[in-house]
Amino acid sequence: ENYQARLEQYYTRL
């Protein structure tokens, strides 16, 4: 089963 990553795991909030 593939787990869907979210963008916050890679990019920081400004």
Partner 1 sequence: MFEARLVNSSTFRKVLDAIKDLLNEASFDCSENGIQLQAMDSSHVSLVSLNLKSDGFDKFRCDRNLTMGMNLTSLGKVFKCSGADDTVTMKAQDYADTVTFMFESKKQDKISDYEMKLMNLDQEHLGIPDTEFSCIIKMPSIEFARIIRDLSQFGESIVISCTKEGVKFSAQGDIGTGNVKLAQTHNFDKEEESVTIDLQEPVALTFACQYLNSFTKATPLSNQVKLSMCENVPLVVEYQIPELGHLRFYLAPKIEE
Binding site for partner 1 (CB under 8 A): 1-14
- Residue 7 Cβ vs partner 1, minimum distance, rounded to whole Å: 5
Q: Which residue in this structure is represented by tokens 């890679």? A: 10
Beta carbons within 8 Å of 13's beta carbon, 6+ residues apart: none
- Residue 3 Cβ vs partner 1, minimum distance, rounded to whole Å: 4
- Residue 4 Cβ vs partner 1, minimum distance, rounded to whole Å: 5
Gyration radius of the chain's alpha carbons: 9
